[in-house]
Amino acid sequence: MFLKLVKLELFKIFSKWRTYIGFIAIGVLVPIIHLAMLAEGETLIEVSTRVLRSSFDFNGELINGYMVTRIIMQFLFINIPLLITLVGGDMLAGEATSGTYRLVLIRPISRLQLVIAKFTAGSIYVALLVIWLFILALGLGVLIFGTGDMIVVRYSINIIPEADVLWRYGISIGYSFLSMWVVYTISFFFSSFVENSIGPIITTMAILIVLNILNMVDIGAFSTIQELFFTTHMNAWIILFDEKIDYAAFFRSALILIGHVLVLSISTFIYFNKKDINS
């Protein structure tokens, strides 16, 4: 029964054209970034490694599909959450807008089953979007630029051996899903309160934008507060591309995100179960 409900919700999600905005946006943006890297990638690498070029001769290619994928992920990680809110914000509010809540709930399913099925279907959409991003970024990247050792420029310059790259991307996919799941859960949470999807979409977007701006503030005392923002932990997948992975920091960030998902989703389930439904 529950699986049928999830399938039904997935059918609903993929019947709306707004669902495809995310897929189309990624489908357009990723090849554009690939083309830009094809034209300017060499310059980017040269600038990043300028300090070493006075003492070393560089042999072999540093631009490859792995490196480009990481850059794409960094670019898109700020914007993909905005696309996810389009679907998340509509999950419950959309039913209210179209007046189908009561119609659905007179069927022999509990409210809890319905809300969990909707949450699960939305989560599957998020997972598909993340997988689509990786397939396109990594697949097209490897096709255009090939493979090789991966250069990662952060506060230090890391060169990761080719054999050591794919498992890091494997875990990154899982972590990226977790990050996007938090955004989806927030928009799903707000979606349960209102009868129009614009509100939860705009609210989630506003939270993301405000927290991302606050993350950029560089005041010593502020860093403790920044630690509490989920946006600070959303990009912890980059830790996986350090030479020595700080697993403690990685799992702490993952737990904070999981905590957000649990608190917000359970709150939504409880609220929805008791909610007065008038439409």
Per CB under 8 A, does 236 bind other proteins?
Answer: yes
The radius of gyration of the chain's CA atoms, rounded to the nearest angstrom, is 21
Mask for 130-159, x = binds other proteins (CB under 8 A): ------------------xx-x-xxxxxxx
Q: How far is the CB of 158 from other proteins (least distance, A)?
A: 4
Angle at 250 between CA 245 and CA 252, to 5 degrees: 145
Q: Which of 216, 221, 248, 278 binds other proteins (CB under 8 A)?
A: 216
Size of the site for other proteins (CB under 8 A): 39
Per CB under 8 A, does 108 bind other proteins?
Answer: no
The helix (H) or strand (E) run that includes residue 34 is helix 19-48
State how far the Cα of 242 lies from the Cα of 123, in Å rounded to an integer: 29
Per CB under 8 A, does 51 bind other proteins?
Answer: yes
Q: How far is the CB of 252 from other proteins (least distance, A)?
A: 11
Q: Which is nearer to other proteins, 52 or 263 (CB)?
A: 52
| 3-class secondary structure, 150 | strand
Taking CB under 8 A as the binding criterion, the range among 29-37, 105-113, 176-184, 240-248 that sits at the site for other proteins is 240-248
Taking CB under 8 A as the binding criterion, the range among 25-33, 109-117, 126-134, 236-244 that sits at the site for other proteins is 236-244
Q: How far is the CB of 99 from other proteins (least distance, A)?
A: 43
Q: Which of 79, 223, 267, 273 binds other proteins (CB under 8 A)?
A: 223
Q: Which is nearer to other proteins, 2 or 167 (CB)?
A: 167
Q: Which residues contact 187 (CB under 8 A, 6 or more apart)?
A: 84, 85, 87, 88, 89, 91, 200, 201, 203, 204
Per CB under 8 A, does 60 bind other proteins?
Answer: yes
Q: Which of 133, 146, 143, 138 shows the shortest CA–CA distance to 166?
A: 138
DSSP conformation class of 136:
I
Per CB under 8 A, does 17 bind other proteins?
Answer: no
Q: Which is nearer to other proteins, 17 or 56 (CB)?
A: 56
> Which residues 154-213 are close enough to bind other proteins by CB under 8 A?
154-162
Per CB under 8 A, does 47 bind other proteins?
Answer: no
The helix (H) or strand (E) run that includes residue 153 is strand 150-153
Give exposure, 93-126, as e/b (b: 16+ Cβ within 10 Å). Answer: bbbbbeeebeeeeeeeeebeebbbbbbbbbbebb
157, 49 Cβ separation under 8 angstroms: yes
Q: Which is nearer to other proteins, 244 or 274 (CB)?
A: 244
State how far the Cα of 10 lies from the Cα of 120, in Å rounded to an integer: 9
State how far the Cα of 161 lies from the Cα of 63, in Å rounded to an integer: 13
Taking CB under 8 A as the binding criterion, the range among 200-208, 233-241, 260-268, 271-279 that sits at the site for other proteins is 233-241
Chain residues binding other proteins by CB under 8 A are: 51-52, 54-62, 148-149, 151, 153-162, 215-216, 218, 223, 226-227, 232, 235-236, 238-239, 242-244, 249
